[in-house]
Amino acid sequence: MIQNEEFINEFVEEAQSHLEMIEAGLLKMEEGSSDIDNINNIFRSIHSIKGTAGFFGLEKIVELAHVMENLLGEVRNGKIAPNSNMVDHLLTGNDQLKSMVGDVFNSNAEDVSEHVDIFSALLNQEAIPEKQTEKISDPMPGIDHQMFDLKDDEKLKRQIDEARKHGHNLYKVSIGINKDLGDQNLSPIKFFKKIQSVGEIVDSFIDISQVKGLDNVMQSDVIFTFVFTTVLERKLLPIALDIQEENFEVLETYEKETKTADTEEVIVSPDSAEEDEEADKDISSDHSENTTKPVETSAKKEPVATVEDSIRVHVTLLNDLLNLASEMVLGRNQLLRNIEDHRKEINGLDAILQNIDRITTELQEKIMQTRMQPVGNVFNKMPRVIRDLSKKLGKEVDLDIEGSHVELDKSIIESLSDPLTHLIRNAVDHGLETPNKRKSAGKPTPGKVMLKAYHEGGSVYIDIIDDGAGIDPERIRKKGLEKNVVTEEELKQMSEQDILQLLMKPGFSTAEKITDVSGRGVGMDVVKTNIEKLGGTIEIKTVLGEGTTFRMILPLTLAIIPSLIVEVENYKFALPQVNLQEMVRIKAGDESKKIEYVHNAQVLRLRGKLLPIVHLGEVLGLEHKETGLAISTSEITRILVLKVGSRRFGLVVDRIYDEEEILVKPLPVYFKSCQCYSGVTIMGDGKTAMILDPDGIINKASLRFTEEQTQQNQRDDLASEEEMRELQNILLFKCSGEETFAIDLSLVSRVEEILPSQVETIGNQEFIQHRGEALRVIRPENYLPVTKKDNSQADKLYVIIPKLVANPIGLIIEKIHDTVMTTIKLNKEDIKGKGLIGSTILNNRIVLLINIYELFEMVSPEDYEDSALKNQHHDLTILLAEDTPFFARLTKNYLEWAGYNVILKGNGKEALDVLYEKSVDLVLSDIQMPVMDGLELARQIRKNPDLAGLPLVALTSMTGEKDRKAGMEAGFDFYEFKLDKITILEVLQKAIRIRRDAV
């Protein structure tokens, strides 16, 4: 009965998405959701599977879906209350459907009678008594229908009457599936939808009277009959449905027809269903489709003509579009170049070019977006995995999902399912302890597994966190030796991370005994390879007794990455920005920064540490060691500091161009032996360029990193607080000198454009008129250790008016570069100076962060020298918990200015650790922090009787009343806005005083 593979595939795809929905819905139901929409959705999905499966004669699917639908129908009508047992069975049924849909051509050979029995039994338990006997005696679905038919007839009549009242006509269309639809290359489903778009189907059935047996389906024809109502006139119908006049007839009433149709079939099915032909059973199952459909539609009065808001497009088409779009960008660039000289001559050309420019860019972005899908598509499968596991293993598990909305390229999403499932399984099976063990470890019995997706530095991170026993490196060591995965010698060389990575080696399994859950041949090594295939990496973090985190770091998209264009020996290369940490420029003869030699190897002293140096040209065989030396003696050496995992090295290139978003194309197979490349791209000038692979360069240059070095680097990373997540809104600007400055936008009240002539000089101070008042303005370059030009030619200026300062002073600047949302990583080697917080690199530029308080204090010390705020004795210690380096340094700075000793910690957990060891006089804490946030910190402190009297002040940018309330409830004494220096100092004094008084 299977007509056409293409149609079947369409059915399979559709059914699979329905099955996903059913599963999600069932899980919701189990959690106690009695949401009627949810149940309706489940019902609708299963119904729709049954309906379409019927068209294809997939009788076993129909049979199973039918009994499930019946049960769900009763649940929907409130006749049966769902319980865990029932959901269990429904889920198993759903799984069975899944596997049958997955192997649709063999589905008819599956035996579903067991499921059918179960569902029938479930249905009977609470069904109306008189039917019970009947049903127990014969749970065949065929019989069920008749019972349903009786009920449906009434509804049918009512539906038709209702439609007639609204001026609908009643039609009956008969379509030969091979003859009519086959010619049009239209699947029955599509035709079904077509009718639904113009009217409402009241009944449909299949006439297979022409079909003599299964074998001659293709020769003879299957007639679909639809009875439906529509407002369309007789004349318009053939046009609307694209059918012949002879295919349909106008009906006056329908009851009689149904009766005849029904009786015919009803007569047929009991007679032959038991006896012989499968085809006959088919009628009965198909028939169920016909009769239950109206129940649904009439009962819910759904709008039937739904507008499709999505269509399926083949990925190759999208890829082609993407290629063409990038070609168009090239075309645009060429056009711009050629027309450059004539731009002025033609009126309005500029605007048009700009418009084309914008549209092309947007086009490319949109096409990229079509490939993006929320990671939730994969995450949604996990609750089910957890549920089954927790039942099987007898472990209670709470699953938290965060960041389902984070989007990734389709190809990545698709390949993510298996590794993720495996890691989840692993977390529950190996990670979490048994309930008994948890109890004795003082943990809550339900284990916690967290699935978290978030953006971080151009990648997407997916964390799988469990609060289980953690991984004991000692055990991995032992196991590794036992299984011959690693030798004693090698172990000695390995860092802890390396040892943890052993978990991912083929042939390694830590579970003492292999359960059927995790140890099923698919090992962690497969997970690792899968992730690496996607261009991602996987990291393991574990604390013995507290849990394990598996972190997948994935590229946002495989297609477009930000990169830096560099040149060596006239060859241009693209270097992925992900790996770029900083750029160092060395002038010949500069003794403070130079390349030195350890034997033959070149190294650079960078902030007191030695960085191995690799010449790109040399690695690629473009220059030889001898000539390489000659080059390094040239005027300037440009070194890119790259980081791969925890390995760092410097790469010497000849020239550095701009940053470019490049479209990554896979490396042709013919270059697989070249280690240094990871792909190809086409650049703005239409030429190809190779994309460098820093990992490959490390291998090619045979750089060997020792354990200590990598560990050192890792520690550095921790120290530099790479973990921070808070985004800051930064305003980038320039004064008369060359330097780029930055100020946090939360410190800025407004920025005004002024003319240089508006600045008036009174005495040696400058003022402007602002809102009818004189506002003192200063030029930051006069106070900061930076360059300045005395006679600036700028024809307009800007004034930054700060907020939250007692005596505002405007900053005169010359140019606004940009505002960026970013996380700031302050450079460790400071460009020190009064009035500056530090420096960072943004958009490949060194940016100086202005400390506005210090600057103002330099400008008018008299206003800021408020000794009342200072703690004269220098005997008070404040514990400051703040994760954003920018604010941390700013706050620490003025706390120290006020005479307090400051202990700075990056999160609540670290702060808490300090409290156990040291005594402090006050805790000043940010609210949003990684690991442990401020609220939790406050709760923990208040819980501890030793610390109960400690004054707690929250310092935050979340100033909503709700936030404040949450803060106060958590145990904070004061809740202050982050940037208001004076108020904070006052509050600190107050808080300390109150405490003293209390003591």
Partner 1 sequence: MNGKALSFYINDKMFGLDIKLVKEISRRFEYSHVPDSNANIVGLMNLRGQVVTLFNLGSILGLTKDNEEKVSNTACIILKAHHNNPNHVGFLIDRPGDVLDIESEWCEKTPANVEEINTEMIREVVKLEDELLLILDSDKVFRF
Residues that bind partner 1 (CB under 8 A): 323-324, 326-327, 330, 569, 571, 619-622, 665-666, 668-671, 673-674, 676-677, 680, 682, 686-690
Q: In what order do the strands lie in the sheet with 459-466?
A: 397-402, 447-456, 459-466, 547-555, 537-543
Q: What's the closest the beta carbon of residue 665 comes to partner 1, in angstroms?
A: 5
Least Å distance, CB 816 to partner 1, is: 37
Whether 529 and 510 have beta carbons less than 8 Å apart is answered as: no
Contact present, 433 and 468 (Cβ < 8 Å)? yes
Contact 211, 222 (CB under 8 A): yes
User: Which CB, 316 or 484, lies closer to partner 1?
Assistant: 316
Q: What CA–CA distance (Å, rounded) separates 247 from 284?
A: 24
Nearer Cβ to partner 1 (237/566): 566
766: tokens are: 């400058």
Taking CA atoms, 521 is separated from 333, 484, 504, 526, 764, in Å, by 53, 18, 13, 9, 80
Write out the two tokens for 660: 């470019």
From the CB of 371, what's the least distance to partner 1, in Å?
16
Look up tokens 């360059």; give the residue.
Answer: 787
Which among 503, 555, 547, 543 has a CA at the least distance from the CA of 524? Answer: 503
Q: At closest approach, how far in Å is the CB of 696 from partner 1?
A: 10
Distances in Å between the alpha carbon of 29 and those of 37, 485, 835? 11, 46, 60
Using DSSP, state whether 574 is helix, strand or coil: strand
CB of 331 to partner 1, least distance (A): 10
Helix H or strand E segment including 722: none
Residue type, 700: K
| C-alpha 103 chain-centroid distance | 31
Q: How far is the CB of 543 from partner 1 (least distance, A)?
A: 44
The minimum distance between CB 676 and partner 1, in angstroms, equals: 6
Number of Cβ within 10 Å of residue 452's Cβ equals 18
Distance CA 508, CA 478 (A): 11
The helix (run of H) or strand (run of E) holding residue 945 is none
Strand order in the sheet with 636-644: 580-587, 636-644, 647-653, 609-615, 601-606, 595-598
Residue 28 parent element (H or E) = helix 5-30
Provide the token pair at 470: 């953690």
Q: How far is the CB of 418 from partner 1 (least distance, A)?
A: 23
Instruction: Report the C-alpha gap between 459 and 556 in whole angstroms.
Output: 5
State the DSSP string of 271-293: HHHHHS-HHHHHHHHHHHHHHHH
Minimum CB separation from partner 1 for residue 629, in Å?
Answer: 20
Q: Cα-Cα-Cα-Cα dihedral of 664, 670, 675, 681, to 10°?
A: -20
Shortest gap between Cβ of 674 and partner 1 (angstroms)? 5
Q: Which is nearer to partner 1, 87 or 690 (by Cβ)?
A: 690
CA distance 93 to 116: 9
Report CA dihedral (211, 216, 219, 223) to the nearest 10 degrees. Answer: 30
CB 57 within 8 A of CB 8: no
CB of 682 to partner 1, least distance (A): 5
Nearer to partner 1, 524 or 558 (CB): 558
d(CA 4, CA 463) in angstroms, rounded, equals: 43
CB atoms within 10 A of CB 785: 13
**Who's near 603: CB < 8 A, 6+ residues apart?**
595, 596, 597, 610, 611, 612, 613
CB 901 within 8 A of CB 876: yes
Q: What is the nearest approach in angstroms of partner 1 to the Cβ of residue 185? A: 24
Smallest CA-to-CA distance from 141 within 41, 226, 225, 69 is with 69
Nearest to 519, CA basis, from 527, 511, 529, 528: 511
Question: Is 54 or 617 the residue whose CB approaches partner 1 more closely?
Answer: 617
**Least spacing, CB of residue 677 vs partner 1, in Å:** 8
**Which residue, among 771, 767, 780, 782, has the nearest Cα to 749 in the 3D structure?**
771
- Inter-residue contact 330 to 684 (CB < 8 Å): yes
Given the complex with partner 1, which of 697 and 952 has the nearer CB atom? 697
CA–CA dist 153, 257 (Å, integer): 12
* Least Å from the CB of residue 664 to partner 1: 11
